[in-house]
């Protein structure tokens, strides 16, 4: 392969157009090599949100930055869920202003502490309480299958939601 490229060494530049073209080709080659060696620093994540008309859960793929630790990757994914959907037919899972305050991993269990804003009543949010946390858990388990259990805390306290009576 290298014997085919020896013409590059014998090239004589005549004029500025040839020099600009050679600089462009050189920059392109260096860029492609850096991309192949270093790779892309983003990773695809599947996030779940309720849809607008029916209220059923729909999936959305989003590219988020890759981080060196598992906790930082979980934090980035959780923040993406709390940010809300990019799809026009989906709505937010939690009210605006909700955020993750702590992430801890112990074995196959993920502990996630969120702010109390997730409990605020919001007409834009169709899922409430345990249903919203279940959709949140689905997003986390889908992207991090190593977790057998996700434990949520709201402002450091375990949430207790009243069970709905079945008729």
Q: Which of 117, 105, 93 is nearest to 151 (CA)?
A: 105
Position 6 scores a pLDDT of: 66
- Whether the predicted pLDDT of 74 surpasses 90: yes
Residue with structure tokens 């020896």?
6
* Residue 163: inside a domain: no
Q: What is the mean pLDDT of residues 144-164?
A: 88
Q: Say if residue 90 is in the same domain as residue 55.
A: yes
Q: Say if residue 46 is in the same domain as residue 108.
A: yes
Q: Say if residue 48 is in the same domain as residue 113.
A: yes
* Residue 85: inside a domain: yes
Q: Say if residue 82 is in the same domain as residue 14.
A: no
- Whether the predicted pLDDT of 4 surpasses 70: no
Q: Say if residue 17 is in the same domain as residue 96.
A: no
* Residue 100: inside a domain: yes
How far is residue 28's CA from residue 26's CA, in Å, rounded to a whole number? 5
Q: Say if residue 49 is in the same domain as residue 69.
A: yes
Q: What does each C-alpha distance from 116 to 27, 62, 101, 157 come to in angstroms?
A: 50, 26, 10, 10
Q: Which residue has the higher pLDDT, 96 or 16?
A: 96
Looking at the structure of the chain, the number of domains it has is 2
Residues of the domain holding 28? 7-38
Q: In this structure, what are the phi and psi dihedrals at residue 49, rounded to the nearest 5 degrees?
A: -140, 155
Q: What's the pTM?
A: 0.72
How far is residue 139's CA from residue 132's CA, in Å, rounded to a whole number? 11
Tokens of 150: 């996700």
Q: Say if residue 94 is in the same domain as residue 26.
A: no
Position 114 scores a pLDDT of: 94
Residues 125-140 pLDDT 10s: 888 888 889 999 999 9
Confidence of residue 110 (pLDDT cuts 50, 70, 90): very high
Position 124 scores a pLDDT of: 84
Residues 16-36 pLDDT 10s: 777 777 788 888 888 888 777
């Amino acid at each position: 392969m290298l014997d085919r490229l020896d013409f590059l060494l014998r090239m004589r530049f005549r004029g500025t157009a040839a020099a600009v073209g050679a600089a462009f080709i050189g920059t392109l080659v260096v860029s492609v090599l850096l991309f192949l060696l270093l790779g892309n620093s983003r990773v695809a994540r599947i996030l779940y949100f309720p849809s607008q008309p029916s209220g059923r859960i729909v999936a959305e793929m989003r590219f988020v930055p890759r981080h060196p630790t598992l906790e930082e990757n979980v934090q980035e994914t959780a923040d993406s869920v709390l940010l809300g959907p990019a799809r026009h037919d989906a709505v937010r899972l939690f009210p605006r202003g909700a955020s993750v305050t702590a992430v801890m991993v112990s074995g196959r269990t993920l502990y996630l502490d969120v702010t109390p804003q997730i409990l605020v009543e919001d007409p834009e949010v169709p899922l409430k309480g345990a249903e919203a946390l279940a959709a949140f858990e689905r997003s986390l388990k889908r992207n991090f299958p190593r977790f057998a259990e996700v434990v949520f805390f709201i402002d450091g306290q375990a949430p207790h939601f009243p069970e709905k009576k079945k008729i």
